[in-house]
Structure 1
Amino acid sequence: MTDDHLMTFMNTAESAGGAERHASWTELFFDLVVVAGVLQLSHLLHEGPTAADLALYVLLYLAFWIAWVCFTVYGNVEGDRAWTPGLLLAMLGLAVMVAAVPGIRGTRHYLAFVAAYVFLRWLSSRFWRRGRVVMDWPVAQMGLGVLPWIVSLWVDAPARYWLWALGIGFDLLAILANAGGHMLRGAQEWAERLVRKNGDHGRPVIEAAYADVPHLMERLSLYVIIVLGEGVIQITTVAADTAWDVHLAAAALGSFALLSGLWSMSLLNGFGGIPKTGRGDLPVRLALSLHCLTTCALASVAAGLGLALAHPHDPAANGVRWLLCAGLMVYFGVSVLAAAVSGARWQSVLGWALPCLLLLSALGFFARHLGAGWLIWALATAVGWQLVFAPGKRGSLREHASA
């Protein structure tokens, strides 16, 4: 028996007749939960933030992002065949996770968060037919990453948080290790065993499902716009409650310049919301992995801007300064990795990335007496350097739109 008899490859872009797809009304409505999620998660950083606060923020953010992507990929692959009531139920589950964030250190809230996360992972796996392997997002059909979350229901903090980190680590490793290929071979072997046992009658069909790349990149880009929009909300909300003077004006204008630069890097000169300066587009599984880092960094920068603007006359607190600097360092680090993977020359990459990383390190260590406005404008300058000197920049989204 040949693999052709056992396996049917499916590419949703081809199955749709090559027609260009855009986010549907259902998908746009589903993405509204991201607005609430990013806003609530930012509250974890409003009390300092300390290293423990930031670590918990990253854990909860990645859990929220993974749950969101599970259903985003489902809608992307299935298209018009996606089960709308299931997506609405997933939206409700994500809303429960979001509502549990402010009191996550309390018993009831953390139980609700874990229960909602485990339920969403179970629900997303039930949407896929047996014998169908999602190549670009194998996490949708893998339960190993959920097990530590289940065990954490009987474990106290801080060990509970280490279990959460372990579960997320399993999922991210599965993406990077191309677990979809291993799952596909396992499904083929399962089908071959059934055929040897039962003969050709009832031969199972193994499907390899692939993402509609332009549509998925559009969804990821919309997510980035939501995160950057939260940054604008942070600025305007704080400005409305702060005395208006030249210090606030300078800090607010610097914040807007910073967010505008990040928007340009991520979308006009990026791929799926990922800053990129190479020649080719990124593999889907790598784009998804980098997207979680990029958006987490952008969300932390947005929260940091709100905290810095609350005291425009004073130097930013140590935790706030490091939140801003570290967030941008992660963001620039992603851009370096994406550029290298997509074909940029290392000499060019280091030429535009290294000065920015050195500046951010210097600001983090030595700028404790620098005023909030000066700090924000220094960060905006680093982003401006990236925009001006990044090699081979191009507008990937516009190219997709005109393709």
Structure 2
Amino acid sequence: MPPQDALVEESDVPGAVVTAAGVETATAVRLERLRASAVGAGLDAFLATGDESIAYLTGFRPLQLERLFAVAVMANGEGAIVVPRLDLGQLDDAPDELAKVAYEASSDGLPELAVVLSGAHRIGVEEDHLIYARAAALREHGFDVVPAGHLIAALRWRKDDLEIAKISAACELVEQTLARMFAELRPGAVEREVNAQVESLLREHGASAAHPLILFGENAANPHGQPSLRELRRGDVVCADLSACLDGYWGDLTRCATVGPASEWAHEAWQLVRDAQWAAIDACRTGNAARAVDAAQRSLVESRPDLGACLHGAGHAIGLAVHEPPFLVPRTETALEEGMIFTIEPGIYQAGTGGIRLEDDVLVTVSGPEVLSSHAVDLVQLEA
């Protein structure tokens, strides 16, 4: 793998350096918007318990194990973050709008949360994150607990300037890591070892988490296949899907290469997938339904069954989580809005041969789609 100084540092990316004051301002705005949404939905309070949502509202991302973490946003203008005492020291930069409430190891945090929520009755919760036992306990305290995760999801869909800068920085790191990996990759390399080396490289350059998925030859016919002990051989297609979390936000890109000249299948599959991606990117416009983006790529990929199968949708939103809603699949009617960021990743897969996928991260703007990474136009050819 390349030396550490071969990759871009976070400070080299325009807009990537954000002051604490900027973060504090952003979280204050988000808290107020969530409060307004809760009031509009007839709620007395909203309770955020998912780690991404807590990070979105406070800048603090908890390690979610068995302990309760929650942010309560009250309709009356008050609010609090409830954490185990062992995590209280991590809240120095939490927004001043939130009271800090810590509970001892002798408590499960629910009595303290009930005190924070006192005076409220109808509580909106993230139904995908609040476990049943805790919801039941809140009801025993007299609260009317209702599903309302869509309120914070809708806020998180639209990225602000701070978030766009962070996602762009993550894309920069991933893209340059891909380029360095391809520059070093040679026949005889082992899938599992290459994945481990790339993950280590991403972490060395600031990624707090990384998910490389680099597959060779026929293994790439499974979009979510597991890296094995297979060695790289002449004639193989390499499908390299890398995602990394930098300063809390994810970048997710996929590039493909051939070892030596591309086969007829690889060449035609690449051209098809590239055209499908262009069509899907062009469909990333405000007002379009998410399913329309998928339809734009699916109609092309499915037109060539001789090259393989279309096994997944066009992509997904990305941000504090590597996979976020809305998802670009046939069932999603959600209209695209300014500030949404999606992966656009059409692919085609032929069992026994391989898979070709091309993925970039795309920002929806009022003037049209903006690709946050360098849009690949050529299939990489590696030395054989």
Query: Where on the TM-score scale, by shorter chain, does this alignment land: which range?
Result: under 0.3
The higher relative CO (CA closer than 8 Å, separation ≥ 6) is in: 1
More helix by share: 1
With the length of structure 2 as denominator, give the TM-score of the two structures: 0.28
With the length of structure 1 as denominator, give the TM-score of the two structures: 0.27
